[in-house]
Amino acid sequence: MDVKILITGSTGRLGKEITKLFPDALCPTEKELNIINDSSIQAYTSKHKPDVVIHLAAMTSAEECEKNKELAWKVNVEGTENLLKSTIAANPNIYFLYTSTAGVFSGDEGDYNENSKTNPSNYYCQTKLAAEERIKNYKNVCIARSNFVPRGPWPHPKAFTDRYGTYLFASGLAKAIKEIVIARAKGILHITGDKKLSMFELAKITTPNVLPMKLSEYVGPKLPVDLSLRSTRWKTYSLND
């Protein structure tokens, strides 16, 4: 019997890569499945009854989340929980993978594993952690934390020399997520690259002429400094995977 996979946020940076790996997946538009509308969620999930959900849809801009906290909470927290509850109602054996962020940690120390203490530094990351808390005790749920960027030209003229992470490109993270879905891994997993890089070092891989900058030059919501991850529960990937 074919496994029916639902991908939310399929038009985003990661979603585009994941849909390449699951070409037969359900990829609804916002009109077809509105993550902040309970009736829309229930109607879609009861009609399609997916076996697997890969939940990517979210407000991801730290600045936008700070400006519109109510909407960020509805999308990132309530939307995630309501989607899970509705898919369970439609299919009690649903496997639900939620993509979270390394930003659930403070970024003061780095080298965080799945058991490290969480302490998000801005509202976007607070909502992602709140969603984790809402869903982590349901069965067949996987929370995948990561730090990724699309493989392509750096979208800004400068990149931080003093912010760090164990990054993956979106295509590599997509492959890792497919492996997790196939394995039906559960609980919290860190999906991480094998090298800690500054954002400037990362940017130069695809954009050699990018300019350096320091966090002291930045104006905006607080940004974590070191979000490097390691995993005690899953394998580590090469940035070139």
Phi, psi of 109 (to 5 degrees): -120, -45
| pLDDT score recorded for residue 25 | 98
Q: Which residue type occupies 183?
A: A
| pLDDT score recorded for residue 2 | 84
Rounded percentage of the chain residues whose pLDDT exceeds 90? 96
- The mean pLDDT of 60-64, rounded to a whole number, is 93
**Can you say whether residue 128 is alpha, beta or left, with left for phi > 0 and alpha for psi between -120 and 50 degrees?**
alpha
Contact partners, residue 227, CB within 8 Å, separation at least 6:
102, 103, 105, 107, 110, 112, 147, 163, 164, 165
Residue 21, judged by CB atoms within 10 A of its CB (0-12, 13-18, 19+), counts as middle
- The yes-or-no verdict on residue 66 having pLDDT over 70 is yes
User: For the segment 69-93, what is each residue's pLDDT rounded down to a tens digit?
Assistant: 999 999 999 999 999 999 999 999 9
Q: How many CA atoms lie within 13 A of 80 on its CB side?
A: 30
User: For the segment 187-237, what is each residue's pLDDT rounded down to a tens digit?
Assistant: 999 999 999 999 999 999 999 999 999 999 999 888 899 999 999 999 999
Structural domains in the chain, CATH included, are 5-227 (3.40.50.720)
pTM (predicted TM-score): 0.96
- What is the C-alpha separation between 74 and 37, in angstroms, rounded? 9
Q: How would residue 42 be classed by pLDDT, with cut points 50, 70 and 90?
A: very high
Q: Which residue type occupies 4?
A: K
| pLDDT score recorded for residue 221 | 82
Q: How would residue 28 be classed by pLDDT, with cut points 50, 70 and 90?
A: very high
- The yes-or-no verdict on residue 1 having pLDDT over 60 is no
| pLDDT score recorded for residue 152 | 94
Q: DSSP character for 190?
A: E
- The yes-or-no verdict on residue 241 having pLDDT over 80 is no
- The mean pLDDT of 113-121, rounded to a whole number, is 97
